[in-house]
Chain A
Amino acid sequence: EPEVTQTPSHQVTQMGQEVILRCVPISNHLYFYWYRQILGQKVEFLVSFYNNEISEKSEIFDDQFSVERPDGSNFTLKIRSTKLEDSAMYFCASMSELPYEQYFGPGTRLTVT
């Protein structure tokens, strides 16, 4: 069964460093998303991507964040200068046109020290 994959599973970085989180969505899906979950809190939406551009973003997704789909298969989230409060689980999700069911990857645990 096709699934969303994410790498790395765990990333530790120092404050101020850049990180790139990688995702391979399900191959025939058209919509791509990043969410995050800070420990003990809700899963929160960051950004959605469709037709090679950002379709929607939340207040969390500020200028320090960017997304790319560089080669038609990978979908990346870059945090330019990490802060302590960026420590969270980051989930990638993808969805086809119909049905509207988003499938999530296993997540990357980002720890900023």
Chain B
Amino acid sequence: DQQVKQNSPSLSVQEGRISILNCDYTNSMFDYFLWYKKYPAEGPTFLISISSIKDKNEDGRFTVFLNKSAKHLSLHIVPSQPGDSAVYFCAASSLGNTPLVFGKGTRLSVIA
């Protein structure tokens, strides 16, 4: 039962270009979405979030877009840097303070 899906297990991008990571969800009760970045042997690091009342949230090089009707969100990283190479997890919750449901992650490799 995959309520949060990240269909691309990996993505390679040239340094300086845009990285687009995608996430789909099935549970219409989800109203808060987060992106986490994870390096090997470390915990997930919070990157950016968006609530369902918005369709875009921006923080520096990171922008998250939410399309509620399509139950789809995406994380854009511009420009991509080699230090962005990590596994990126999409996560969702309902009512904000409920447990997070994670996707399987997408491994981003930014090539210099």
Contacts and interface: CB of A to CB of B under 8 A. Distances in A.
A102 B103 contact: no
Contacts of A42: 102-105
Interface residues of B, number: 23
Interface string A1-28: 0001010000000000000000000000
B57 to A, nearest CB: 11
A43 interface: yes
Interface in A82-113: 91, 95, 97-107, 109
B44 interface: yes
A31 B89 contact: no
Contact of B99 (A6, A41, A45, A105): A45
Contacts of B45: 104
B65 interface: no
Top 6 A-B residue pairs of the complex, sorted by shortest distance between their CB atoms: A100-B96, A104-B43, A45-B99, A43-B102, A104-B44, A106-B43
Interface of B: 32, 34, 36, 41-46, 49, 89, 91, 93, 96-105
Interface of A: 4, 6, 31, 33, 35, 41-45, 48, 50, 56, 58, 91, 95, 97-107, 109
